[in-house]
Amino acid sequence: DTLETEVKAHFGRHPDAGIYASLPGLGQILAARVLAEFGDDPGRYASAKARKNYAGTSPLTIASGRKTTVRARFVHNERLLDALTRQAQSALRASPGARACYDALRARGTGHQAALRQLANRLVGILHGCLKTHTHYDEATAWPHHNTDHTRQNHTAA
């Protein structure tokens, strides 16, 4: 309880705390974990892909001759990947766009864990964009194609 109180008190003082906390699925404690694991050096990740690779959420493509395989990264920051997976699970309830993305992956036959990893990968990209532009998360900007599809389905059903 004491540690949680201290984390909440100090996390709120960080200049990017509002950006992290604005993302769906990130409360103060989980946002503090993600911030701590990524670090706060603005020049550390040159691109969203670099941040995703560090997180271990991006797929690893292995090509040899005529054969190409895609699989999850074996080498990754376990604490960060755990925090991002928890964020993805929580974002399913907090964000209609995240839910639509996950549901679309599952409808295509993607397994639960793989769909969560892909959703976490997308959320890392969104986080990178928010940090780069110093803007808070916006549902309509983050999931424009999923929101459009969801709206279209609602109008079709009516």
Say what the pLDDT of residue 154 is: 45
| Ranges of the chain whose pLDDT falls below 70 | 70-76, 146-158
Return mean pLDDT, the chain: 86
Instruction: Please give the model's pTM, rounded to 2 decimal places.
Output: 0.83
Q: Are 70 and 60 in contact (CB under 8 A)?
A: yes
Query: Can you list the positions of beta strands (E) in 29-95?
Result: 60-64, 67-71
> What is the domain range of residue 47?
2-157
Say what the pLDDT of residue 158 is: 43
CA–CA separation, 121 and 110 (whole Å): 15
CA–CA separation, 66 and 68 (whole Å): 7
CA–CA separation, 54 and 84 (whole Å): 12
- Count of structural domains within the chain: 1
